[in-house]
Structures are given as structure tokens and as C-alpha cells.
């Protein structure tokens, strides 16, 4: 149940953007509609499973980022660096997407000129390491990692992996980083 929680603001903002695009760029509105449909279609399909590959999660995030890039334009850049070995690792669905959503909401949207969200995933020392880094406005109040999305991720990771899963965060004056460490698991997804 936790993994199917999508921020309704994302849906409403996407629909409003599609509506606005129909008047001056119908082709872009169609593309955004297709991305939104693909995102929700894949979300519903993947949510039925207990675990998916990081590669599947990254593909889902590709649809999410395509939608958000249409909304934010050049203000949003994304760099996803996922090693081939990391892409084969299993994790709960909707682990990465809420982190990207938070990075946009609390980072990109708040920073004049936007910035780049960097996602790095690799396998090291028998663990899957995922890091999401986004810019933050220097004058923003220090962020915490206690929001609903992160709480849901923490709970799901605790259920599946117990103390072998770790999630932490760091803040500098200009960046916020979330780090997830999971045991490597490449068995078949449920």
C-alpha cells in the first residue's frame, strides 16, 4: 500500500501543464500525455511486485523526468549514472522516484535558474549504493529527511532488509544528498 502513494500534486500539475500546452504546442501536449500515461501504467504494473530491478525503476523515472522537464524546461537537468551491475539489483518499487520528486520540489523549484539532479548507483563492497544529489537555495531553512515520502521508503526498506538497509542524508549550503545502501539482491523479483 505504501508503495502506491503518488503525490497528487504531481498529477494535477502535469494535467495543468498539458492543458496549457494544448493552446500553443499541441504536439508537446500529446507527448506529455503519453509520458504521463506511460508513467502511471508502469507505476501500477510495478507496484504489484514486491521488488523490481533498479533498471526498471530508472525506466519509470525516465517517464517522470520527461514530464517534469516539460514543466520546468531548461531549469531541470538530470544525470543518471547507473552501473550495469547496479541496474540488475532488486529493490522495492517507487524507491527512487519519490527521491527525484523531492529533489525537484525542495531543490530545483526553489533555486533561481534550477540545476541538475545527479543520481549515481553502483555496487560496492556487497551493497547497492544509490545517491541522489540536488541543489538547494542557500537561504532555505535546512531541510530534513523526515517527510512522508522518505518515511515510506524507510519503512519499506526496514520491512524487506531490516538493519541491512541504510538511508541517510547530508546538507551543504548549496546541495542536499540522500544516500541509500541496500544488500545486493539479484534473485527473481516477486
Q: What pLDDT, on the 0 to 100 scale, is given for residue 4?
A: 46
- 189 part of a folded domain: no
Question: pLDDT tens digit string along 17-36?
Answer: 999 999 999 999 999 999 99
pTM: 0.88
- 190 part of a folded domain: no
- 188 part of a folded domain: no
Note down the domain range covering 57.
2-183
**Cell digits of residue 150:** 522518505
Mapped onto helix, strand or coil, the DSSP state of residue 136 is: coil
- 145 part of a folded domain: yes
> Given pLDDT bands bounded at 50, 70 and 90, which one contains residue 2?
very low
- How far apart are alpha carbons 27 and 25 in whole angstroms? 6
- 110 part of a folded domain: yes
- 178 part of a folded domain: yes
Sequence-distant (≥ 6) Cβ neighbours of residue 188 within 8 angstroms: none
Question: pLDDT tens digit string along 65-119?
Answer: 999 999 899 999 999 999 999 999 999 999 999 999 999 999 999 999 999 999 9
**Cell digits of residue 83:** 552501473
**Cell digits of residue 58:** 530508472
- 96 part of a folded domain: yes
How many domains, the chain? Answer: 1
CATH number at residue 144: 3.30.565.10
- Inform me whether the pLDDT recorded for 1 exceeds 50: no
Amino acid at each position: 500500500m505504501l508503495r502506491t502513494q503518488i503525490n497528487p500534486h504531481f498529477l494535477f500539475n502535469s494535467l495543468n501543464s498539458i492543458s496549457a500546452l494544448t493552446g500553443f504546442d499541441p504536439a508537446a501536449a500529446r507527448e506529455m500525455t503519453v509520458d504521463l500515461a506511460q508513467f502511471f501504467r508502469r507505476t501500477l504494473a510495478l507496484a504489484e511486485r514486491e521488488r523490481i530491478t533498479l533498471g526498471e525503476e530508472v525506466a519509470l523515472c525516465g517517464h517522470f523526468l520527461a514530464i517534469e522537464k516539460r514543466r520546468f524546461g531548461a531549469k531541470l537537468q538530470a544525470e543518471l549514472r547507473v552501473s550495469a551491475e547496479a541496474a540488475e539489483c532488486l529493490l522495492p518499487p517507487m524507491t527512487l522516484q519519490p527521491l527525484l520528486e523531492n529533489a525537484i520540489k525542495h531543490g530545483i523549484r526553489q533555486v533561481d535558474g534550477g540545476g541538475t539532479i545527479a543520481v549515481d548507483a553502483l555496487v560496492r563492497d556487497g551493497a547497492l549504493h544509490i545517491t541522489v544529489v540536488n541543489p538547494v537555495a542557500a537561504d532555505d531553512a535546512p531541510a530534513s529527511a523526515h517527510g512522508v515520502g522518505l518515511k515510506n521508503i524507510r519503512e519499506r526498506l526496514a520491512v524487506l532488509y531490516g538493519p541491512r538497509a541504510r538511508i541517510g542524508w547530508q546538507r551543504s549550503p548549496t546541495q542536499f544528498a540522500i544516500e541509500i545502501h541496500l544488500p545486493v539482491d539479484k534473485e527473481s523479483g516477486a
